[in-house]
């Protein structure tokens, strides 16, 4: 039997779930009740709602980073294992959806942090021989991140005030099942049959443009 987590960890887990269900303005007393602690203990450990939200951001980034790294260095076995347990990511996915739904500088910062992490684990995937090199790794990381987050927002199961966290795992499974095969096909078998469009665009790009091939990278 897993030992009871310390209070700060129980608060963080409860906050991810409560913010996912009710949005980022969910009452801290509800978070405290979910965690089995007093509201004062939340302030003791995290100081304020904003600091608690920042901790939730860090946990969402950590979970995403660890699981992406595992797939991009562990290959198909790691991917299939994660897909089999997709439901356990529901609170984190719900929280990220709420953060994006709220918009503003903090949401932009979270997206930027996702991009920075993607840059790292894509490089690790390159080192493991599972990812191709890029002429512009940072731009690639940003596009992939924005595509992934944008797909989540477009399919967001709740534009309402309250998210059905009980139904979120089912939605997450359906969303993932509809996405994985075409995305893997797109990444494995390029949509375009040759590089003529890319070559033409790069040839027409102004000197010094960020999209131009960099020394030592493929064209």
Is position 64 within any domain?
yes
- What pLDDT is attached to residue 7? 93
Is position 35 within any domain?
no
CB 141 within 8 A of CB 111: no
Is position 158 within any domain?
yes
E strands present in 46-94: none
**Cα distances (angstroms) measured from residue 123 to each of 53, 87, 144, 162, 213:** 29, 28, 14, 38, 18
Candidates 91, 117, 107; CA nearest to 34 is 91
Question: pTM for the whole thing?
Answer: 0.79
- What pLDDT is attached to residue 90? 87
DSSP assignment letter at 1: -
Residue 89 belongs to domain with CATH number = 1.10.357.10
Is position 211 within any domain?
no
- What pLDDT is attached to residue 160? 55
Is position 4 within any domain?
no
- What pLDDT is attached to residue 161? 59
Can you tell me the distance from the alpha carbon of 162 to that of 30, in angstroms, rounded to the nearest whole number?
14
- What pLDDT is attached to residue 218? 45
Structural domain boundaries, residue 70? 56-204
Give the phi and the psi of residue 103 in degrees, each rounded to 5.
65, -165
- What pLDDT is attached to residue 170? 85
Is position 116 within any domain?
yes
| Three-class secondary structure assignment of 132-188 | CCCCCHHHHHHHHHHHHHHHHHHCCCCCCCCCCCCCHHHHHHHHHHHHHHHHHHHHH
Can you tell me the distance from the alpha carbon of 200 to that of 92, in angstroms, rounded to the nearest whole number?
41
Is position 148 within any domain?
yes
What is the chain's pLDDT, residue by residue, as a tens digit (219 residues)? 568 889 999 999 999 999 998 889 999 999 999 999 998 999 999 999 999 999 999 999 999 888 888 887 777 888 888 888 888 888 898 899 889 888 888 889 999 999 999 999 899 989 988 899 999 999 999 999 999 888 888 876 655 556 777 788 888 888 888 888 999 999 899 899 999 999 999 899 887 665 554 544 443
Can you tell me the distance from the alpha carbon of 157 to that of 148, in angstroms, rounded to the nearest whole number?
16
Number of domains in the chain: 1
- What pLDDT is attached to residue 158? 57
**Cα distances (angstroms) measured from residue 121 to each of 14, 18, 21, 66, 118:** 28, 29, 30, 9, 5
Is position 33 within any domain?
no
- What pLDDT is attached to residue 219? 39
Can you tell me the distance from the alpha carbon of 19 to that of 28, in angstroms, rounded to the nearest whole number?
10
Say how many residues make up the chain.
219
Give the phi and the psi of residue 201 in degrees, each rounded to 5.
-65, -45
- What pLDDT is attached to residue 60? 92
């Amino acid at each position: 039997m897993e030992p009871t987590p310390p209070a700060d960890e129980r608060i963080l887990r409860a906050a991810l779930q409560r913010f996912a269900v009710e949005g980022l303005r969910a009452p801290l007393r509800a978070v405290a009740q979910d965690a089995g602690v007093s509201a004062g203990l939340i302030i003791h450990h995290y100081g304020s709602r904003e600091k608690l939200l920042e901790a939730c951001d860090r946990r969402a980034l950590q979970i995403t980073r660890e699981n992406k790294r595992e797939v991009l260095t562990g290959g198909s076995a790691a991917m299939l294992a994660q897909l089999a347990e997709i439901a356990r990511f529901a609170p984190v996915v719900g929280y990220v959806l709420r953060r994006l739904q709220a918009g503003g500088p903090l949401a932009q910062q979270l997206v930027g942090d996702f991009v920075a992490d993607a840059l790292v684990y894509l490089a690790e995937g390159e080192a493991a021989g599972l990812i191709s090199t890029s002429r512009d790794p940072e731009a690639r990381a940003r596009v992939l991140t924005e595509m992934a987050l944008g797909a989540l927002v477009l399919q967001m199961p709740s534009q309402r005030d309250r998210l059905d966290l009980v139904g979120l795992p089912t939605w997450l499974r359906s969303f993932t099942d509809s996405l994985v095969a075409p995305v893997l096909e797109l990444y494995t078998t390029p949509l375009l049959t040759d590089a003529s469009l890319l070559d033409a665009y790069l040839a027409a790009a102004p000197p010094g443009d960020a999209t131009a091939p960099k020394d030592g990278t493929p064209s």
